[in-house]
Amino acid sequence: MSGLPDAQLPGGPLPQAWQHCKEGLPLVSPQRKRQLRLLVVGSGLAGASAAATLAEQGYQVRLLSFHDSPRRAHSVAAQGGINAARPRAADGDSISRLFADTVRGGDFRAREAGCWRLAEISSGIIDQCVAQGVPFAREYGGSLATRNFGGALVSRTFYARGQTGQQLLYGAYQALMRQVAAGRVELLCRRDVLEIITVEGVARGVVARHLISGELEVHTAQAVLLASGGYSNVYFLSTNALKSNASAIWRAHRQGALLANPCFTQIHPTCIPSGDAYQSKLTLMSESLRNDGRVWLPLQPADPRPPAEIPEQERDYFLERLYPAYGNMVPRDLASRRARELCQAGHGVGPGGRSVYLDLRDAISSQGASTIESRYGNLLQMYERITGEDPYTTPLRIYPAPHYTMGGLWVDYRLMSSIPGLFVLGEANFSEHGANRLGASALMQGLADGYFIAPLTVTAWLAGHATPAIAADHPACREARARAAGRIAALLQVAGPRPVDAFHRELGAVMIERCGISRDAAGLRAGLAEVAALEQRFHAEVRLPGTAAGPNPELEKALRLEDFFGLAQLMLRDALAREESCGAHFREEHQTADGEARRDDSRFAHIAAWEHRGGADPVRHAEPLRFTSLEPSARSYR
């Protein structure tokens, strides 16, 4: 491959760009659609919505998902809400404001055409979901309710208590099951996609392992859509569901798909801190709690007193102090960094001084416990279960944790990767979020991709490229299947002393230390060596019980971890090459005198897209970013 493929960005003014693009996209006749098969990998918001919509249009859709049911995809866990610009709102919201917040929130490292389109589609997403029966919160008069969310000054976040992702996913899942019943979607659950099949550089299918029988299956089609979600689990402890993985995108990367901005990992400031070494995950407390909760730490380092005994004047409401305009609502990267610094300076509370208080006391006394309960009841209950502490009477303890990956497979404006015929949707692509995702916009992006963008752009591609699906015994299929079988055999053969999780925990520790809330060159270089060494040890010392036949959860984990090792090294490389601080990527060498991030637009106003090169070092390509509508400015929330 030489350089980057064309990003297909629209010309002309942003507000009409998507409309123009849509009108120019070629169509496929209904009769032909019925003869074309599409593979969708993943049944989260992005995959389920795309599969349902493409099936409605008449395609034969085959959907493969790791889970036993589409309803369990990780999207189900999203708590806070989904943004949409509804221009009728009295607080003056508009498409251009949501656009501007998205671009600024992403610290000018996203394409503006994509951000505009996302803002433009957002309102239609809400309508679609309402029509499916998603029970969004309503005002007493019956209209849709909204709330404020981190990083925005207008109230544009639609929600269903603390379970917005769940309700949106059930809407998409139900739309999907309707198509399954109609015979238009073939649903194949419990399938782990382990390889992408390409023929002459075009995506033609996947190899999947049946998680019950252990059999390797070949699935072929006219186009493949990956909607396999994010990879924060590379950190071991993260807010992601345990099975969230990078396998599908990493295997696509190895087949030639560029991977963009892998180092941009959002660290979420409000998670329940970790305790025991055997803890398996970190649980998010929705940042909507910051609407009512005040973040503070004792002024005195290592203050041993319980929070209730610390008088007002000895509390440091540090976000309110440092960022008077946004206060507790500053974007996630700032809130995370400030919390970490103060904890490192000895002000932290809880075990190991690794948490800060999120205090609902003032909100409870002014609005009443029942109002707070109606807003956040399920979250607070969850907190109580995990920590054994009552958040109504004592402040919650929170700490930043890896949460969302802005990086992913590079896609053009039409969501096609650099492998023709391979589309990537939702968190699996590198998306519109730039260096730092604005709260409540991942759900929006997943659904925009699945309901409204991919169905048109996949069609447009098929109009020009559909050739018959290849047979399952095509040499490319046999090769891909052999690659998967070879990996499995190699892993099973090691027979070392240590279980997979032990290695995963070590990888996570390296990644959080070297490529977490803040990074520096020396640490990143050390991280590269540490991960490479750990990977070697993994291949020499891992122990997998059982065989390739039948269910083997340890084998599933080992395959996942093997992919994480490769991805982790690319993340470190990407972080090392980006010698600036922007959004979630904070390089300690590049900061202002008062500790804020210093972006370098002259050298880094681009998307970094990495090309895999067999045994050699990967190659970094740069897609320049142009801003015609907003002047790149320093992000300031002070």
Partner 1 sequence: MSSRTLCLHLRIWRQESAQAPGGFCDYTLESVSADLSLLEALDQLNEQLITAGERPVSMEHDCREGICGSCGFLVNGQAHGPRAATSVCQLYLRQFSSGERLTLEPWRAAAFPLVQDLAVDRSALDRLIAAGGYCSVNTGQAADGNAMLVGAEQARSAFDTATCIGCGACVASCRNASASLFVAAKLAHLGQLPQGQPERARRARAMQQQMGQEGFGSCSSHLECEAVCPQEISADWISWMHREERRSAG
Ligand X SMILES: Cc1cc2nc3c(=O)[nH]c(=O)nc-3n(C[C@H](O)[C@H](O)[C@H](O)COP(=O)(O)OP(=O)(O)OC[C@H]3O[C@@H](n4cnc5c(N)ncnc54)[C@H](O)[C@@H]3O)c2cc1C
Nearest residue to 73 via CA among 48, 44, 45, 47:
44
Amino acid of residue 534: L
The listed partner (ligand X, partner 1, none) that binds 404, CB under 5 to 8 Å by sort, is ligand X
Minimum CB–partner distance for residue 289 and ligand X (Å): 12
Strand ranges in 501-636 using DSSP code E only, listed in sequence order: 606-611, 619-624
How far is 227 from 19, CA to CA, in rounded Å?
Answer: 24
Angle, CA of 272, 278 and 280, to the nearest 5°: 55
Minimum CB–partner distance for residue 387 and ligand X (Å): 17
The answer to whether the beta carbons of residues 148 and 155 sit under 8 Å apart is yes
Q: Which range in 98-106, 539-547, 574-582, 613-621 contacts partner 1 by CB under 8 A?
A: 539-547
The listed partner (ligand X, partner 1, none) that binds 496, CB under 5 to 8 Å by sort, is none
Give the total of residues touching partner 1 (CB under 8 A).
84
Query: Among 60, 122, 128, 233, which residue sits at the site for partner 1 (rule: CB under 8 A)?
Result: 128
Query: Among 44, 171, 273, 583, which residue sits at the site for ligand X (rule: CB under 6 A)?
Result: 44
Greatest Cα pair distance, the chain, in angstroms, is 74
- Catalytic hit among 332, 375, 519, 578: 332
Query: Among 134, 284, 322, 460, which residue sits at the site for ligand X (rule: CB under 6 A)?
Result: 284
How far is 102 from 119, CA to CA, in rounded Å?
Answer: 8
- C-alpha count within 13 angstroms, C-beta hemisphere, residue 252: 35
- In the three-class reduction of DSSP (H, G, I as helix; E, B as strand; rest coil), residue 530 is classed as helix
Q: Does 370 bind partner 1 (CB under 8 A)?
A: no
The answer to whether the beta carbons of residues 118 and 444 sit under 8 Å apart is yes
Backbone angles phi, psi at 300, to 5 degrees: -85, 125
Q: Does 76 bind partner 1 (CB under 8 A)?
A: yes
Q: Does 175 bind partner 1 (CB under 8 A)?
A: yes
Between residue 78 and residue 107, which ones bind partner 1 under the rule CB under 8 A? Answer: none
Between residue 80 and residue 139, which ones bind ligand X under the rule CB under 6 A? Answer: 80-82
Q: Which range in 6-14, 278-286, 411-419, 626-634 contacts partner 1 by CB under 8 A?
A: 278-286
- In the three-class reduction of DSSP (H, G, I as helix; E, B as strand; rest coil), residue 363 is classed as helix
- In the three-class reduction of DSSP (H, G, I as helix; E, B as strand; rest coil), residue 247 is classed as helix
Give yes or no: 626 in active site. Answer: no
The listed partner (ligand X, partner 1, none) that binds 13, CB under 5 to 8 Å by sort, is none
Q: Does 126 bind partner 1 (CB under 8 A)?
A: yes
Residue with nearest beta carbon to ligand X: 44
User: For the purposes of burial, counting CB atoms within 10 Å of the CB of 341, is it exposed (0-12), middle (13-18) or buried (19 or more)?
Assistant: middle
The listed partner (partner 1, ligand X, none) that binds 189, CB under 5 to 8 Å by sort, is partner 1
How far is 348 from 615, CA to CA, in rounded Å?
Answer: 45
The listed partner (partner 1, ligand X, none) that binds 46, CB under 5 to 8 Å by sort, is ligand X
Q: Does 23 bind partner 1 (CB under 8 A)?
A: no
DSSP states of 444-463: HHHHIIIIIIHHHHHHHHHH
Minimum CB–partner distance for residue 239 and partner 1 (Å): 9
How far is 308 from 519, CA to CA, in rounded Å?
Answer: 35
How far is 169 from 284, CA to CA, in rounded Å?
Answer: 18
How far is 543 from 501, CA to CA, in rounded Å?
Answer: 10
The listed partner (partner 1, ligand X, none) that binds 45, CB under 5 to 8 Å by sort, is ligand X
Q: What is the dihedral sign for C-alpha 603, 604, 606, 610? A: positive
Between residue 346 and residue 365, which ones bind partner 1 under the rule CB under 8 A? Answer: 350-351
Q: Does 614 bind partner 1 (CB under 8 A)?
A: no
Between residue 154 and residue 193, which ones bind ligand X under the rule CB under 6 A? Answer: 164-165, 191-193
The token duo for 50 is 């795309």
In the bound state with ligand X, the residue whose beta carbon lies nearer, of 560 and 587, is 560
Q: Does 516 bind ligand X (CB under 6 A)?
A: no
Q: Does 553 bind partner 1 (CB under 8 A)?
A: yes
Label residues 531-540 b or e (16+ Cβ within 10 Å = b): beebbeebee
The token duo for 621 is 């390509």
Q: Which range in 27-35, 50-58, 257-265, 473-481 contacts partner 1 by CB under 8 A?
A: 50-58
* Residues in Cβ contact with 444 at an 8 Å cutoff, skipping those fewer than 6 apart: 82, 83, 84, 118, 122, 125
Between residue 314 and residue 343, which ones bind partner 1 under the rule CB under 8 A? Answer: none
- In the three-class reduction of DSSP (H, G, I as helix; E, B as strand; rest coil), residue 185 is classed as strand
How far is 66 from 43, CA to CA, in rounded Å?
Answer: 9
Minimum CB–partner distance for residue 224 and ligand X (Å): 12
How far is 587 from 68, CA to CA, in rounded Å?
Answer: 41
Nearest residue to 618 via CA among 576, 585, 584, 573:
573
In the bound state with ligand X, the residue whose beta carbon lies nearer, of 78 and 453, is 78
Minimum CB–partner distance for residue 334 and partner 1 (Å): 25
Q: Does 550 bind partner 1 (CB under 8 A)?
A: yes
The answer to whether the beta carbons of residues 392 and 363 sit under 8 Å apart is no
* Residues in Cβ contact with 473 at an 8 Å cutoff, skipping those fewer than 6 apart: none
- In the three-class reduction of DSSP (H, G, I as helix; E, B as strand; rest coil), residue 379 is classed as helix
Between residue 391 and residue 420, which ones bind ligand X under the rule CB under 6 A? Answer: 403-404
Minimum CB–partner distance for residue 404 and partner 1 (Å): 15
The listed partner (partner 1, ligand X, none) that binds 350, CB under 5 to 8 Å by sort, is partner 1
Q: Does 67 bind ligand X (CB under 6 A)?
A: yes
Encoded one letter per residue, x for contact with partner 1 by CB under 8 A and - for no contact, window 222-241 reads: -------------------x
Between residue 241 and residue 270, which ones bind partner 1 under the rule CB under 8 A? Answer: 241-243
Q: Which range in 133-141, 286-294, 459-467, 585-593 contacts partner 1 by CB under 8 A?
A: 133-141
The listed partner (partner 1, ligand X, none) that binds 427, CB under 5 to 8 Å by sort, is ligand X
Query: Among 40, 50, 78, 152, which residue sits at the site for ligand X (rule: CB under 6 A)?
Result: 78
Task: Please state the three-class secondary structure of 38-58 as a single string.
Answer: EEEECCCHHHHHHHHHHHHCC
Between residue 436 and residue 495, which ones bind ligand X under the rule CB under 6 A? Answer: 440-443, 446
Strands 82-83 and 157-158: antiparallel
The listed partner (partner 1, ligand X, none) that binds 442, CB under 5 to 8 Å by sort, is ligand X
Encoded one letter per residue, x for contact with partner 1 by CB under 8 A and - for no contact, window 473-502 reads: ------------------------xxx-xx
Minimum CB–partner distance for residue 53 and partner 1 (Å): 4
Minimum CB–partner distance for residue 209 and ligand X (Å): 9
Torsion of CA 438, 439, 444, 450, to 10 degrees: 80
208, containing H or E segment: strand 202-210
Q: Does 245 bind ligand X (CB under 6 A)?
A: yes
In the bound state with partner 1, the residue whose beta carbon lies nearer, of 137 and 630, is 137
Binding site for ligand X (CB under 6 A): 41-47, 64-67, 73-75, 77-82, 164-165, 191-193, 227-230, 239-240, 244-245, 247-248, 284, 403-404, 426-428, 440-443, 446
| Residues taking part in catalysis | 332
